[in-house]
A and B are shown apart, each in its own frame.
Chain A
Amino acid sequence: MDMKTITVGYGDVTKVQIGPGLPLVFLGGPCAIESRDHAFKMAEAIAEITQRVGIPWIYKSCYDKDCRSSPDSFHGLGMDEGLTILSDVRKEFGVPVVSDFSDPSWGPATGEVCDLVQIPAYLCRQTSILRAAALTGRPVHIKKGQFMSPWNMKNSVRKLESFGCHDIMLADRGTFLGYNMLVNDMTSFPIMARTGYPVCFDATHSIQMPTSMGDISGGQREFIPYLVRAAVACGINALFMETHDDPDNALSDANTVLDIKYLENVLRQAKIMHQARLDILAEFGEDKVHPNG
């Protein structure tokens, strides 16, 4: 099936296209909106980096982290304050923004501000939240649940389509291997791409070790560059990475966010790998290895 190109961005922000044959797109920012100052500081830093690298960018940060391991963990600034900050970031930097939302009632407000709305992996098959996402009228970024097979994501796609959404991107953020451990199945990208929509790799959540440290999640961020190179080579259209200027003191996902000092390096590698893949496709064509020999 031919893959669709989706366009992210309304109003005055830079429109970002995600699809086959197009430049790799970066979705990134701090996991949670920690404060107005921090959100702007991160946006400014990432804007400079993505401009130097020459990679299209969508600012990602969430206003309410509803799946933290502990009731004591930072939950977020809340919808009103968080969305106001996101709205101001997109105006100031002219960048499209994305946030996830974890309750169907948050959908309308999220869609009012965000250029792209995101379905958290744990909720990827919840009909009510998929309906709410579709009703925003914005493109929808849906993450494959850690418990889901890539081929079963077709059901979630069909739910979104049944609610009128036809601008969808699917992401892999790892799959449970027993307890407290995730692995990436790189075949998930070509498999999910068979839905006809672009695919994304969430690198920083993929190296997460969910709730492996009692009341918080651990992570092995040293593997981010390896997985990024592999995923880009496997044909992703977008790369998702959460980044922070002080990971040790990040209020959310401190053990997985990529220190911003590494961001440019990883993005440059991803861009080179993506171009290499496009060059390979141009020279050798699409893979024609048929399972029937």
Chain B
Amino acid sequence: MQDARNLRVKDVALPLDRCPVLAPTAFFKTALEAMGRSRLGIVCVVDAEGILRGIVTDGDIRRQLLKMQKPFSAFFGDDVIEHTIPHPTTVGPDVPLLDAVNLMEEKLVWDLPVVDAGGKLVGLLHLHPIVRLLVNQQDG
């Protein structure tokens, strides 16, 4: 098994087809459904070129619900882009994995969108697979 110290983000990141990814004009309701289906607490919003335009996380939704007192039906009908965090912390695919983990700790997040040099979303670094990897290494 490869030593985690030698791994890069791209070795552990979830591929795009396992990330909830939506267009900016998708309904906010669709974002909630996508997050539920993926069992991830995040949805990534990309434009037609695949460039990351923002993210929505469970925490963002909790904060929005407390601050925006509008009806659920109005929330559900909003464009998802209206509720995204526009400039989230991201990580490049070739960044050393442990640097990315330190970034997660520093930012207190357990998901980092993985984007290439052009800002295009290429995957999602989720904490659970990293933990599993490290635990397996420990056991091994």
Q: Do A and B come from one complex?
A: yes
Q: Which residues of A contact B (CB under 8 A)?
A: 149, 151-152, 154-155, 191, 291-293
Contact, CB under 8 Å: B68 / A151:
no
Q: In residues 63-102 of chain B, which contact A (Cβ within 8 Å)?
A: 63-64, 67-68, 70-71, 73-74, 77-78
Q: Across the interface, name the chain A residue whose C-beta is closest to B81.
A: A1
Contact, CB under 8 Å: A292 / B77:
no
Contact, CB under 8 Å: B73 / A149:
yes
- A-B contact count, CB below 8 Å? 21
Bound-state CA distance A191–B70 (Å) is 12
Per a CB cutoff under 8 Å, which of B67, B70, B78 touches A292?
A: B67
A interface SS class = loop
User: Which residues from chain B contact A291 at a C-beta distance below 8 Å?
Assistant: 67-68, 70
Q: Which residues of B contact A (CB under 8 A)?
A: 63-64, 67-68, 70-71, 73-74, 77-78
- With A152-B73, A291-B67, A292-B63 given, can you name 11 additional A-B contacts, CB distance below 8 Å? A149-B71, A149-B73, A149-B77, A151-B78, A152-B77, A155-B77, A191-B74, A291-B68, A291-B70, A292-B68, A293-B67
- CB of A235 to closest CB in B, whole Å: 18
B interface SS class = helix
- CB of A161 to closest CB in B, whole Å: 10
User: Which residues from chain B contact A152 at a C-beta distance below 8 Å?
Assistant: 73, 77
Q: Across the interface, name the chain B residue whose C-beta is closest to A149.
A: B73
Contact, CB under 8 Å: A151 / B73:
yes
Bound-state CA distance A152–B78 (Å) is 9
User: Which residues from chain A contact B74 at a C-beta distance below 8 Å?
Assistant: 149, 151, 191
